Amino acid sequence: MSLLVFDRVWQISMKLKPAVILCQFIALLAIGLPPWPALAADNGISLGVLAFRPQPETQARWQPTADYLAAKIGCPVKLMALDYPQLEAAIARRQVDFVLTNSGHYVLMTERNGLSSPLATLIGEENGQPLSQFGGVIVTRAGRTDIASLADLRGKTVATPETGSLGGYQAEAYELTQAGFALPGDIKLQVTGMPHDRALAAVLAGRADVAFVRTGLIESLQREGRLTPGRFKIVNRQQVAGFPFLLSTHLYPEWPIAALPQVDARLARRVAAALYTMPPDDPALRLGHYRGWAIPPDYQPVRTVLQALRLPPYDHAPAFTWRDIVEKNRSTVAVAGVGVVLVVLLTIFLELGNRQLRQETKTRQLLLAALGEGIYGVGRAGRCTFVNPAALTMLGFSEAEVLDQDQHALFHHHRPDGQAYPSADCPIRLTLLDGQTRHREEWFYKKDGTGFPIEMTVAAIEKDAVHNGAVVVFHDISERKRLEGELQALATTDSLTGLANRRCFLGQLKQEWERLQRFGEPGAALLMLDIDHFKRVNDDHGHAAGDAELRRFAELVLASLRKTDQAGRLGGEEFAILLPGADGQGALEFAERLRARIAAEEVVYDDRKLRITVSIGVTQLAQADALAEIALRRADEALYQAKANGRNRVESA
C-alpha cells in the first residue's frame, strides 16, 4: 500500500506549487516508507558525479551522500567521480543510472542521451548561507594593468578547464558575446582539462592571460591554504545581493540530479524522495559542503546560453523551410510572394522542354514588369540574377548595368551619413548565410550618386536545404520620411521661434535629471528667462512687432549655446535653457553674458527700433531633487526675484 501511496502522491505533486510539494515530502517522511529493493537492480545502482575538482576530492565529498541514498532506498549505490569525457562515455554506455553534473552539461546530456527531467537541484552552502545558483569568474594576475574590462580580453589567451563547463567557460563566454565578441576567434582559447585548478595555475605560470573558473573555487583554495589571497584580479566583477562568492557573470541554477532512461520511474521517484527528505543534520550534508536539495527551477537560462554560443546540442542551425516563412512571416510573404513564386516556378519548369521554359520566362517578365514594387534577385555570391523595371526606374540603372553585378557594391555601399557600409553587415548577405527573412529600412544609391530611403524585405531561396539565393522587394519611402520629419518637428518645435516647445524641453529636462539620478556627475544648470515688458511691446506696437522680438530673442539665445545645450519656449515670453555639465558659477557667467548681449540688441520693425531686456533665474539641477519639476520651480523663483529687483538682471537660487 505504501508503494501505491507514494506513486500517486508523486504524480499529483508535479501539478502543485513548490510549497505544497515540500509538505507532501514531509508527510511521506512521517509515514516512514520502508526500503524498496524490488525497484533497484540486483547489483545496486550507480551515481555518476562530474569532478570539477580533483577526482579523489570529489569522490570523498559525495561518498557520504551515496551511502545515505543506499540506506534510504535499500540497495547499494556505487559512486563514480568522473571528468567530462569519462562521464559522457559512462552515460552513453549506460554505465551509470543517475547523474549529478553542471546545468549546461545536463542540457547537453539530455539532448544526446535522453536524461529525465531534473529530480532535484543541489542547494550549496557558504558560511551557513544556502546557495541554489552559481556562475563563472574571470580572473587575471593581480599585477596586470592592461586587463581591466571585458573589452581588454580581445586577442588574449584564455585558460578554461573545459568548454563544456557552464561555470568554467560557457557563462563567461556568454558575457563576452553580449559585449560584442565573436567567439572563439576574438580570443585564444587554451583548454587545460579538469579540474578547474589547472586554469588558475596556467595564469599564475604565465601560460595564459586570463582564466575562466567556477564561482567558489578561489574561496575554497584560499580556505584550504592552497592559494594566497590577492594573487588574482577579478574582471567584470558583479555584485549580487546575498551571493557570497566572487562573480563575473549572470547566475544560473545549481547542479541537477537526473536519471538515465533505463531507470525505473518508481525508483527515480524514490531517490528524489530520499534527497528531499534528507535531515538537515545528516553528516552527508556537512561532508559534501552543501545544504540540501530543492525543487528543480527553470533551466531555460542555461539553454539560452548554449543557443547563443552555438554550443552542443545547439551547434547546428535548424532546417529552414518555406513553411516556416509562411507561418512566421505572413505579411512579409504577401509582399515578396509574387517574385519568390516566380523564381521557384522557374526552377521547377527548367526540367520541362524549351517551349515550357520560354513560356515561363515570358510570364515572369510580364508579371515583374507589372509590379510597382522594386524586385531583384541575387545568387549565392550576391550578384543580381534578375531585376524588374520598377527597381531600374528607382535606381536609374539599365538592366545590363545591374545583372551579374554585386548589388551591395552597386547601390548599397554607404550609409545615409556617408560612412562606408561593410558588406558583412548587408541584410541581403546575412540572409544568404542563414536563410532568415529580414524586413527593415535601408538606404540605396541611384546611378547619379544621390541616396534615398527604402523599406525592404529579403527572403531566401532554398533548394534541397541549401540557400541558393535571395529575393529582395523594396519601395521608396522618401515621402513617408519627409512627412515623419515634419510631424516630428510639429510635435517638438515652437513654430514661431524654432526652439523646442514646452513638451519637448520638459522631456529633455527629465532625461537630464534621470541621468543625474543614475550617475551624479557631471552636474547641470537650469535657466528660466522672461523678456521684460513684453506685454507693453504688444500693446504699443502690435503682435507682429512682438513676434519679431520673440524671433530675434530666440536667434540670440541659439547663437550663445553650445552643441550640448538645450533651449525651449515654455509659453508667451517665457523661455528656459538647460546647460549639461555646467556648475553654478559657470551658469551665472553664461547667464550674465547672454543678458548683456540681449540688452545691447535692437529689433528693427516697421522702421522702429525696439530694445530687448531679459530677466534670468539660475539654479543647479541637483541629484537630491525628487523631481525635475522641483529644479524648474527653483529657477522660476530666482526669475521672480530678478523681476522684483528691477528686471534686466540675473538671480540664482
List the catalytic residues: 573
Residue 90 grid cell = 559512462
Helix (H, G, I), strand (E, B) or coil at 609: strand
d(CA 519, CA 190): 38
| CA dihedral sign of residues 412, 413, 419, 420 | positive
Cβ within 8 Å of residue 45, ≥6 positions away: 73, 75, 76, 77, 78, 97, 98, 263, 267
| Angle, CA 578 vertex, CA 576 and CA 579 arms, to 5° | 140
- Bridge partners, residue 137, by sequence: 213
d(CA 652, CA 590): 12
Alpha helices in 520-606 (DSSP H): 534-541, 543-560, 584-599
Compute CA distances 105 → 19, 299, 311, whole Å. Answer: 28, 11, 11
Residue 491 grid cell = 510635435
| Angle, CA 513 vertex, CA 508 and CA 517 arms, to 5° | 145
Contact 472, 376 (CB under 8 A): yes
What phi, psi does 272 have (nearest 5°)? -60, -45
Contact 429, 460 (CB under 8 A): no
d(CA 423, CA 437): 18
According to DSSP, the β-strands at 566-571 and 524-531 are unpaired
- 448 burial (CB, 10 Å; 0-12 / 13-18 / 19+) is exposed
d(CA 243, CA 320): 42
Look up residue 69 and give its DSSP letter. H
d(CA 101, CA 22): 23
Candidates 159, 241, 254; CA nearest to 204 is 159
Alpha helices in 114-170 (DSSP H): none
Candidates 551, 574, 579; CA nearest to 563 is 579
Cβ within 8 Å of residue 33, ≥6 positions away: 2, 6, 273
d(CA 453, CA 254): 50
What phi, psi does 163 have (nearest 5°)? -70, -15
d(CA 214, CA 327): 42
Compute CA distances 86 → 49, 92, 294, whole Å. Answer: 10, 10, 27
